[in-house]
Amino acid sequence: MEKKVLKRLIEVASGREKADLVIKNSKVVDVYSSKIINGDIAICDGIIAGIGSYDGKKVIDAKGKYAAPGFIDSHIHIESAYVSPEEIGKLLLPHGGTTIIADPHEIVNVCGIKGLNYMMEAGKNTVLDIKYMIPSCVPATPFEDSGAIIDAEKIKEPILRENVLGLGEFMNFPGIINGEDYDLEKIMVAKNSNKIIDGHCPGIYGKDLNAYVSVGIRNDHECSTVEEMDDRISRGVYVLLREGSACHNLRDLAKGVTKNNSRRCLLCSDDRQPKTILELGHLDNHLRICVEEGIDPIGAIQMATINAAECFNLKDRGAIAPGLRGDIVLLDDLTNFKVQQVFVKGEKVAEAGEYLLETKKYDISSVKGSMHVADFSLERLQLKLKSNKVNLIDILPGGVVTKKSVGEINIDSSGDFIYDKEKDIAKVAVIERHNNTGKMAVALLRGYGIKEGAVALSIAHDSHNIIVVGVNNEDMTFAVEKLIEQEGGIILVKDKKIIESMPMPIAGIMSDKDGKWVDKKLRAIHEKAYNELRVHKNVEPVMTLCFMSLPVIPEIKITDRGLFDVTQFKFIDLEI
3-state secondary structure of 503: strand
Alpha-helical (H) ranges within 44-125 are 85-92, 105-111, 113-123
Exposure pattern of 230-266 as b/e (b: 16+ CB <10 Å)? bbbbeeebbbbbbbbbbbebbeebbebbeeeebbbbb
* Contact predicate 72/314, CB 8 Å: yes
User: Where are any strands of DSSP class E within 279-398?
Assistant: 328-331, 339-344, 347-351, 354-355, 389-395
Q: What is the DSSP string of 442-491?
A: EEEEESS---SSEEEES--TTTT-EEEEESSHHHHHHHHHHHHHTTSEEE
- What angle (nearest 5°) sits at the alpha carbon of residue 248, between those of residues 242 and 249? 60
Q: What is the pLDDT along the chain (576 residues), one digit of tens a residue?
A: 899 999 999 999 999 999 999 999 999 999 999 999 999 999 999 999 999 999 999 999 999 999 999 999 999 999 999 999 999 999 999 999 999 999 999 999 999 999 999 999 999 999 999 999 999 999 877 899 999 999 999 999 999 999 999 999 998 898 999 999 999 999 999 999 999 999 999 889 999 999 999 999 999 999 999 999 999 999 999 999 999 987 889 999 999 999 999 999 999 999 998 989 999 999 999 999 999 999 999 999 999 999 999 999 999 999 999 999 999 999 999 999 999 999 999 999 999 999 999 999 999 999 999 999 999 999 999 999 999 999 999 999 767 889 999 999 999 999 999 999 899 999 999 999 999 999 999 999 999 999 999 999 999 998 999 999 999 999 999 999 999 999 999 999 999 999 999 999 999 999 999 999 999 999 999 999 999 999 999 998 998 999 999 987 889 999 999 999 999 989 999 999
- What angle (nearest 5°) sits at the alpha carbon of residue 339, between those of residues 337 and 344? 125
- How do beta strands 129-134 and 217-220 pair? unpaired
Spatial separation of the C-alpha atoms in residues 461 and 546, rounded to whole Å? 6
Sign of CA dihedral 152, 158, 163, 169: negative
Spatial separation of the C-alpha atoms in residues 90 and 478, rounded to whole Å? 35
Spatial separation of the C-alpha atoms in residues 249 and 433, rounded to whole Å? 32
* Contact predicate 158/164, CB 8 Å: yes
Element (DSSP H or E) covering residue 188: helix 181-192
Element (DSSP H or E) covering residue 517: helix 515-531
Spatial separation of the C-alpha atoms in residues 81 and 518, rounded to whole Å? 9
pLDDT at 142: 84
Amino acid identity, position 480:
V
What would the CATH number be for the domain defined by 68-347?
3.20.20.140
3-state secondary structure of 245: coil
Helix, strand, coil share of the chain (percent; to 5): 30, 30, 40
* Contact predicate 268/75, CB 8 Å: yes
* Contact predicate 462/169, CB 8 Å: no
DSSP 270: B
Return all residues near 527 (Cβ < 8 A) that are at least 6 apart.
Answer: none
Q: Classify the phi-psi angles of 236: left when phi > 0, otherwise alpha if psi is within -120 to 50, otherwise beta.
A: left
3-state secondary structure of 23: strand
Closest of 258, 257, 215, 213 to residue 237, by C-alpha: 213
Q: At what angle do helices 515-531 and 85-92 cross, to 10 degrees?
A: 90
**Rg of the chain over all Cα atoms, to the nearest angstrom:** 24
508-539 pLDDT per residue, tens? 999 999 999 999 999 999 999 999 999 999 99
Phi, psi at 428, each rounded to 5° = -135, 145
Spatial separation of the C-alpha atoms in residues 384 and 1, rounded to whole Å? 68
Question: How many residues are present in the chain?
Answer: 576
Q: Classify the phi-psi angles of 438: left when phi > 0, otherwise alpha if psi is within -120 to 50, otherwise beta.
A: left
Q: Classify the phi-psi angles of 264: left when phi > 0, otherwise alpha if psi is within -120 to 50, otherwise beta.
A: alpha
In the chain, domain spans: 68-347, 368-572
pLDDT at 140: 78
Spatial separation of the C-alpha atoms in residues 189 and 191, rounded to whole Å? 6
